[in-house]
């Protein structure tokens, strides 16, 4: 017999509730956004109730910051987007894995940076397309810098490439480099002396 635990959680805007024990997110039908729920969980299952009615059941997953999402819980627009584009987290992991470990690590961090993967797809596409514009070698160097600086965003990586900072990677110490271009309106350290 498994021990059954109960906690309360509010349905987030992304139609998921978080089980704080594992910090894992589980979907519920999107109509319940904003509603309070009760989560009953065991070692193997997670059941979600709203007003004493079971609205979702999932197998328990202990992957931190992971998502367990049932397609039928998604709003029509999200389903359509998912079906027409064919994108999911595994698609981006596979594409990045075909490049280099640095790119794969960045994509993995980007995917984990939002409450649900669909919010990260545009950033993933943007990062992967930088290889077409600059080359896989340069993207790899920029991703290496992003990992060292712990700033794994499309904007950071794009700016590194645009300003050719990736070509100076040998001297990169891990601190975030100054990525602003020289400009007459930027004040330096001596501006107020």
The domain locations on the chain are 5-78, 87-171
The predicted model gives 161-171 an average pLDDT of: 77
pLDDT at 84: 47
Helix axes 101-111, 89-97, angle to 10 degrees: 160
pLDDT at 38: 97
In DSSP terms, 17 is beta-bridged to 26
Comparing 18-22, 106-110, 117-121, which segment has the lowest mean pLDDT? 117-121
145's CB contacts (< 8 A; 6+ apart) are 160, 165, 166, 169, 172, 177
Please give the residue that has the higher pLDDT: either 146 or 192. 146
C-alpha to C-alpha distance for 167 and 71, rounded to whole angstroms: 43
**What would the pLDDT profile of 28-42 be if each residue is shown by its tens digit?**
998 998 999 999 999
The predicted model gives 137-162 an average pLDDT of: 92
Please choose, from the candidates 36, 37, 2, 42, the residue with its C-alpha nearest in 3D space to the C-alpha of residue 21. 42
pLDDT at 167: 82
Q: Is 169 a residue whose pLDDT tops 60?
A: no
> Tokens standing for 59?
């197998």
49's CB contacts (< 8 A; 6+ apart) are 37, 38, 39, 40, 55
Mean pLDDT, the chain, rounded, equals 82
Secondary structure string (H, E, C) spanning 51-108: CCEEEEEEECCCCCCCEECCHHHCCHHHHHHHHHHCCCHHHHHHHHHCCCHHHHHHHH
Percent of the chain with pLDDT over 70: 78
Please give the residue that has the higher pLDDT: either 117 or 24. 24
**What would the pLDDT profile of 35-91 be if each residue is shown by its tens digit?**
999 999 999 999 999 999 999 999 999 888 778 888 888 777 665 555 545 567 788
The alpha carbon dihedral of 148, 150, 153, 156 has a sign of: negative
């Amino acid at each position: 017999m498994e021990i059954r635990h109960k906690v309360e959680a509010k349905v987030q805007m992304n139609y998921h509730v978080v089980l704080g024990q594992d910090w894992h997110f589980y979907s519920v039908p999107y109509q319940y956004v904003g509603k309070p729920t009760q989560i009953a969980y065991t070692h193997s299952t997670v059941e979600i109730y709203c007003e004493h009615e079971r609205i979702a059941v999932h197998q328990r997953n202990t992957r931190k910051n992971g998502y367990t999402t049932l397609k039928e819980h998604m709003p029509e627009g999200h389903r359509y987007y998912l079906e027409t584009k064919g994108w999911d987290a595994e698609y981006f992991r596979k594409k990045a894995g075909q490049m280099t470990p640095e790119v794969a690590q960045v994509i993995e961090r980007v995917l984990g940076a939002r409450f649900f993967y669909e919010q990260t797809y545009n950033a993933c596409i943007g990062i992967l397309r930088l290889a077409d514009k600059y080359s896989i070698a340069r993207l790899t160097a920029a991703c290496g810098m992003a990992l060292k600086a712990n700033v794994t965003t499309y904007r950071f990586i794009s700016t590194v490439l645009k300003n050719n900072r990736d070509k100076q990677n040998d001297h990169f110490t891990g601190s975030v480099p100054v990525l602003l271009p020289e400009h007459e309106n930027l004040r330096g350290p001596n501006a107020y002396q």
